[in-house]
Amino acid sequence: MNGTADIVIVGGGAGGLAFAWAVAGPEVKVVLLERGEAVDQRRSPSLEPDWELALQTTFNANPNLRAGSSDHPVDDRDTPIKPAYYNALGGSTIRWGAHFPRFRPSDFRTRSLDGVGQDWPLSYGELEPWYDINDRMMGVAGLAGDPANPPRAPRPCPPLPLCPATEQLAEGFEKLGWHWWPSDAAILTEGRDGRAACNNCGPCGLGCPRHARASADIAYADAARAKGVDVRTRTTVTGIDFNSDGTRVQALTYLDSDGKVGRLNCENVIIAGNGLGTARLLLAEPRYRHELLGRGLMLHPTAIVTGFFRKQYKSYRGAFAASLISQEFYETDTPRGFKRGFQMQALRGQGPLTTAQGGYGTRLPWGGDHTTAFEESFGRTISLTVTCDDLPEDENRIEIDPARKDRWDMPVPKMIYRLGENTKAMRRFGIERASEALSAAGAWKIAVTKLSRTAGFHLMGTARMGRDDRASLVDRDGRVHGIENLTLADSSVFASAAAVNPTPTLQAIALRAAHAMRIRLGLSGVAAR
């Protein structure tokens, strides 16, 4: 089965769907190919009493454990942090907490400011209008005026309310004189466009039956279809056909939902498969080689510090990952013994099953003492993540094993990752500060998870952006150096990780790249329409 398109997008996650919506119009034929299925969030497992089981099985963050029909294996033997992403229309935003912070201006200039990492060929100011558009599309709740960040346009919705437990945590930060602020969240606090406001039910990671919690499919898929985008799910791209000198993509090969081989001839190709998927697809192509491809993998190593309180706060209520943040220790302060910094993000308490199994950083005893320990934990905890700015290091990388293939006859990717010395020092310092904040808030006991093994949601940096084709793979518009019609539009292009979640930034990059493509094609820009 053959076909043609002006623009083909590989991957229907946060970057791919944003790019599709922005680049589409009556003048161009746009096709989006996504290996996963569309998820009906109106029938989310969060509606069922055993919803926590789904988090450990069909909605497990690790594709090796989830093993769904759209998942491929990942060799994760050489990384302490395991892969965590979701294959579906909407990508990993199907399985996320919707915490939605932006990079800070310094994150784009770490080499110039601190002598570490890589500078971006873009600035915060150049991405700001695209951040704003994305906030409106996703439906972001938040509060303007955060002194830790540049002035910004008002958010589309007021911030999510603090609960009694996070109010107590905020008091701890106040006692210490440390920064805190209500976190931005891609969660509606006011209904709009068929999406209801958040009801603070809690299990955001399973999809939202109210559509209050945004995901890329909810925010962008129907809007892209309305502009003519042909969205094809359960379609797995298996190869890239280059011309004879490797300077142009001619076509993509794929397997459709029936397992039939197809070929799509195309004028422009956009790959948006995340830092692992994009690297794997390009590494599998013998006609494309760059010594940095796959290298510089960044993962945001994260510690979790949990405080236990005597008072029953029912802390399991509310969006689990979106309440308040602190960027008190975000920028470089050399006497601390490391470069760059970290963000502390509040996590609410966990559900009954997860609490019974031990929750963050603890193991509840079995037998006669279990009930007492459970009662001391359930609804009485609040946690702080220590999300570390991960410096790009070539030793951390994605490779492929040509001898090991998945069910689509694609090589299995391998994650090779270790924590750098800068990260270890940052993490130690961050655990101390998070413990201090929880103690100031009144916690009677502290438990520490030194490293979240499931923090591989943020797969960044394997095809970094830059001005020099010897030190980077793509330019400021995401175009692959030396290949005139291939663009990357996901977090693989990140030159630095920052200390915050990547989704708003990768979507802003995708929107900007789509605008640049329309201009190159002689069409009106995104902002003009």
Sequential DSSP letters for 294-305: TBS-B---EEEE
Could you please state the CATH topology (level 3) that the domain comprising 2-38+54-520 is classified under: FAD/NAD(P)-binding domain (3.50.50)
- What are the φ/ψ torsions at residue 384 (nearest 5 degrees)? -120, 130
- Summarised one tens digit per residue, pLDDT across range 373-401 is 999 999 999 999 999 999 999 999 999 99
Q: How confident is the model at residue 529 (pLDDT cuts 50, 70, 90)?
A: very low
Q: Which residues contact 435 (CB under 8 A, 6 or more apart)?
A: 305, 446, 448
Confidence of residue 528 (pLDDT cuts 50, 70, 90): very low
Residue 286 has pLDDT above 70, yes or no: yes
Please, what is the Cα angle at 440 between 436 and 443, to 5 degrees? 90
218 by DSSP, 3-state: which?
A: helix
Mean pLDDT of 491-520: 98
Tell me which H or E stretch contains 320.
none
| Bridge partners, residue 445, by sequence | 308
Question: Average pLDDT, stretch 104-125?
Answer: 97
The answer, yes or no, to whether residue 125 has pLDDT greater than 90, is: yes
Q: Kindly tell me if the per-residue pLDDT of 525 is higher than 70.
A: yes
State how far the Cα of 383 lies from the Cα of 333, in Å rounded to an integer. 25
In the predicted model, what is the mean pLDDT of residues 478-482? 97
pLDDT of residue 17: 98
What is the pLDDT, as a whole number, of residue 262? Answer: 96
Report pLDDT for 360.
87
Residue 185 is classified by DSSP as B
Average pLDDT over residues 235-252: 95
pLDDT value at residue 526: 85
Q: How far apart are the first and last CA of the chain?
A: 35
pLDDT of residue 359: 87
Q: What percentage of the chain exceeds 70 in pLDDT?
A: 99
Tokens for 124? 């915060």
3-state secondary structure of 268: strand
The string of DSSP codes covering 28-57 is: B-EEEE-SSBPP-GGG-GGGSTTHHHHHHT
| CB distance 511 to 17 below 8 Å | no
Kindly write down the DSSP assignment for every residue of 391-430, as one continuous string.
---TTSEEEEEEEEE-TTSPEEEEEE----HHHHHHHHHH
- Max CA separation in the chain (angstroms): 73
Mean pLDDT of the chain: 95
- The mean per-residue pLDDT over the stretch 447-454 comes to 92
Kindly state the average pLDDT of the residues 188-201.
95
DSSP class of 442? T
Residue 222 CB contacts under 8 Å (≥ 6 apart), including other chains: none
Residue 368 is predicted with a pLDDT of 86
pLDDT of residue 509: 98
> What is the mean predicted confidence (pLDDT) over 258-287?
96
pLDDT band at 88 (very low <50, low <70, confident <90, very high): very high
Q: What's residue 202's pLDDT?
A: 87
- Once rounded to an integer, what is the mean pLDDT over residues 30-51? 95
